[in-house]
Amino acid sequence: MKKSAVKNLTELIFPSRCIGCFQLGISICSVCRTSWHPHIYLRELTVLGSIYPVVSAVQYSPIASRVLLSAKESNIAAADILLTDAISHSLRYFIKRFGGDILISIPSRRSASRKRGRNFLGEITEEVAKISSMKIEVSKIQLLTHSRSVKDQSALNSRQRFANLSGALGVPNKAISNKGAGNIGSLIIVDDLITTGATLAEAIRALRTAGFEVKGAVTGAVAKPLR
Ligand SMILES: [Zn+2]
């Protein structure tokens, strides 16, 4: 067998490549690791007249984008770990500074969960709570649901995204009546990425309108706001 054939075969059996640059080797190479090194980025969202902090850990970059996609669309375990680490990093800072009791993840569309074979962000959020040494729980009830369909966000600017998402999330009546909004602790919303903040603002709006107390949000990555 030619040497290249052996190498290709090895790659087939052990397809370990850097998530960021596809170099063969460990799951993320040292160069790409510098692009996924948790820091603290703080942004604020104004919703219903109140200001909500959003803490993120990693700045969005082409490499960060590949890490997020590898976790989200390809179920790559190493990418899950990177994202879990980043969100945990944001959360530690968030709780120390702003408090909060209950984690609630942004719901995926049912079609996306079906395609991925899992509730991606729900699983990551469970993992974040598990590895965190803080007194924090994941909401046992599904507090947020999609109340209508929305357009794909990628081609929209900031103003269009806010309009597209306005009123798109809701809290099922069951969730409010089963456990009155007042009985559940204060909420921290979890998402993988904040870009314009339209999704998080809509989630805060829906929860606040249903009577829940929201502290703010944590994300893995933060992109520069679109215009
Ligand atoms: Zn790399």
Distance from the alpha carbon of residue 24 to the mean position of ligand 1, in angstroms: 9
pTM of the model: 0.88
Residue 91: exposed, middle, or buried by beta-carbon count in 10 A (0-12, 13-18, 19+)?
buried
Task: Say whether pLDDT at 65 is over 60.
Answer: yes
The helix or strand, by DSSP H or E, that contains position 126, with its residue range, turns out to be helix 120-131
Task: Say whether pLDDT at 105 is over 80.
Answer: yes
What tokens does 1 get?
């067998």
pLDDT digit string, tens, across residues 16-34: 778 888 777 778 888 888 8
State whether residue 183 is helix, strand or coil: helix
Q: What residue numbers bound the domain in which 120 lies?
A: 37-222
Distance from the alpha carbon of residue 31 to the mean position of ligand 1, in angstroms: 6
State whether residue 153 is helix, strand or coil: coil
The proportion of the chain whose per-residue pLDDT surpasses 90, expressed as a percent, equals 58
28 and 127 in a single domain? The answer is no
82 and 155 in a single domain? The answer is yes
Distance from the alpha carbon of residue 193 to the mean position of ligand 1, in angstroms: 20
Distance from the alpha carbon of residue 67 to the mean position of ligand 1, in angstroms: 10
Please state the domain count of the chain.
2
pLDDT of res. 209: 93
Distance from the alpha carbon of residue 17 to the mean position of ligand 1, in angstroms: 8
Asked if the structure places residue 227 within a domain, the reply is no
50 and 161 in a single domain? The answer is yes
6 and 65 in a single domain? The answer is no
Highest mean pLDDT among 43-57, 140-154, 172-186: 43-57
- Compute the distance between CA of residue 38 and CA of residue 34 in angstroms, rounded to an integer: 9
What string of DSSP letters covers 58-111?
Answer: EE--HHHHHHHHHHHTT--HHHHHHHHHHHHHHHHHHHHHH--SEEEEPPPPHH
Asked if the structure places residue 166 within a domain, the reply is yes
